[in-house]
Amino acid sequence: MSTLSKPLRLRRGPKRITSVGAAERRAGYAVLCVLLAVLAYALTKQSQFNPAVVAALREGPADAKKTSGQPASELTPALDALPGVAALAGAETFGPDTLSDKIDGKAELYLSSGFKEMVWRPLAPAGGDKARFDVYVYDMASPDSAFAVFSGQRRSGAAASGLTENAYSTGNALFFTVGARYLEIVADSDEAAVKNLLEPLGAALLAKLSPSPGEGAGRETQSSPASLFPAQGMTPGSLRLAMADAFGLEGFGNVYTADYALGGAEATGFAAILPDEAQARTWKQNYLAFLLANGYGEITAQDLPEGAQALESNGVFEVLLKQGRLFYGIHEATSLQAAVALAATFEKQAREKMR
């Protein structure tokens, strides 16, 4: 026969209280005194300001000085204490790996042109106006790199600015280069009071970022082909620099171009100075082969400069020339007469300046 466990019976009635000895009372008093001392110390420290903690709270977390792991830039101080404006937030720095996070869809132009880093900071008029300025400072590999992105981003119909040699403005923005830096100041309003702050703000940044003597402006230097372009017929503001793959030809870089309007016809002039004459010859041959592979055929034309080659495809004309280490010519002219005339002027100017 199995034995069943009996239910636990609880004793009902008053609990028996055991008396506490003198030693236990003394130990309890000691613990209580320690707890009171700890509490008093904590309350005292809480009432005192710790400058390090206050500074940390004002600065925010350490990561606030970085963007996606990019260290704070040496350019950041240039965006401090600018006249007439106050900062809305701290400056943020973007590198090659994070640039697309800020300017999605446009990063490739910068990355292919020698981009190093970009610093961005939002500003507002100091007088309490609700307008906002976004300032972008792009640090590029060279003045030519800065001019490449400046010219590649140029807005059509923009007005030239006298701030620097490479500067223009739109209804709500100012764009310019200084040394190896390209800057954009973009306002969220085109009201007169806001527009009137663009040039002074640009001038203040220019003063802080001006290149050291000899750094160059990134345009018409003695070694630059930009000065070789004929001025007559050139469309204002059309001078550009392609750092890579000009006209779709892979590897064809550091090519200046400018648009022309000549007697109702249109054309683009181009020029690239190569390291030596052999490379200039090679690129002329490569571009010729590229055109032939894309449906162009060689043609003869009167009054072409000596050594020039002319090509045509569906009423569009190309002229290729070489002088020393300079490879230059006419691209996509809409008439043969305009192509030949521009090539002749181009050749004369190049011959004079490349001596």
Among residues 237, 171, 166, 161, the alpha carbon closest in space to that of 199 is found at 161
Q: Are 252 and 286 within 8 A, CB to CB?
A: yes
DSSP 8-state class, residue 329? E
d(C-alpha 83, C-alpha 74), whole Å: 20
190 and 92 co-located in one domain: yes
Cα distances (Å, whole numbers) of residue 23 to 17, 18, 27, 36, 168: 17, 14, 6, 20, 90
In a domain, residue 33? The reply is no
In a domain, 217, yes or no: no
Structure token pair of residue 194: 């806001």
* Host H or E run for residue 117: strand 115-125
* Position 46 in a domain: no
Tens-digit pLDDT profile for the chain (355 aa)?
433 333 333 333 333 334 445 555 555 666 565 555 555 554 444 433 333 322 332 333 333 344 444 566 889 999 998 999 999 999 999 999 999 999 978 899 999 999 999 999 999 998 777 889 999 999 999 999 999 999 998 987 789 999 999 999 998 999 999 999 999 999 998 888 888 899 999 999 999 998 755 455 444 444 578 889 999 999 999 999 999 899 999 999 999 999 999 989 999 999 999 999 999 999 999 999 999 999 999 999 999 999 999 999 999 999 999 999 999 999 999 999 999 999 999 999 998 887 7
For position 273, what pLDDT does the model report? 93
Q: Is residue 263 part of a domain?
A: yes
Residues 6 or more apart whose Cβ sits within 8 Å of residue 2: none
CATH (domain of 248)? 3.40.1000
The pLDDT assigned to 182 comes to: 97
Q: How confident is the model at residue 106, as a pLDDT? A: 85
- Same-domain status, 154 and 260: no
**DSSP bridge partners of 241:** 256
Question: What would the two tokens of residue 17 be?
Answer: 């209280």
What is the extent of the structural domain holding 103? 64-209
Closest by CA to 291, choosing from 253, 351, 249, 237, is 249
> Are 205 and 231 in the same domain?
no
Q: Are 334 and 267 in contact (CB under 8 A)?
A: yes
What span, in angstroms and rounded, lies between the C-alpha atoms of 47 and 238? 66
SS3 content of the chain, % helix, strand, coil (to 5): 35, 25, 40
**Residue that is last in its domain, among 156, 183, 209:** 209
Residue 137 in domain: yes
Domain edge (last residue) among 180, 209, 238: 209
Whether residues 202 and 307 share a domain: the answer is no
> What is the pLDDT at residue 6?
36
3-state secondary structure of 316: strand
**4, part of any domain:** no
Element (H, E) at 265: strand 265-273
Considering the domain architecture, whether residues 115 and 231 belong to the same structural domain is answered as no
Structure tokens at 353: 């300046």
When computed from its CA atoms, the radius of gyration of the chain, rounded to whole angstroms, is: 35
The alpha carbon of residue 145 and the mean position of all alpha carbons in its chain are separated, in whole angstroms, by 11
173 and 238 inside one domain: no
| 3-state secondary structure at position 92 | strand
- Same domain flag for 237 and 167: no
Query: How many distinct structural domains can be found in the chain?
Result: 2
Residues 260 and 164 in one domain: no
Taking phi first (over 0 means left), then psi (-120 to 50 degrees means alpha), and beta for anything else, what does residue 213 get? beta
pLDDT of residue 266: 98
Cα–Cα nearest to 225, from 125, 323, 102? 323
Q: What are phi and psi of 63, to 5 degrees?
A: -65, -15
What is residue 33's predicted lDDT score, i.e. its pLDDT?
A: 57
- In a domain, residue 138? The reply is yes
Q: Please give the model's pTM, rounded to 2 decimal places.
A: 0.74
Asked if 195 and 295 sit in the same domain, the reply is no
Contact call for residues 82 and 109 (beta carbons, < 8 A): no
Is 32 a domain residue?
Answer: no
Residue 172's SS3 state is: coil
Specify whether 92 is located in the same domain as 152.
yes
Beta bridge partners of 14: none
Q: What is the pLDDT of residue 353?
A: 80
Q: Of 156, 184, 209, which residue is a domain's last?
A: 209
**Residue 158 sits in the same domain as residue 79:** yes
**Residues 345, 305 share a domain:** yes
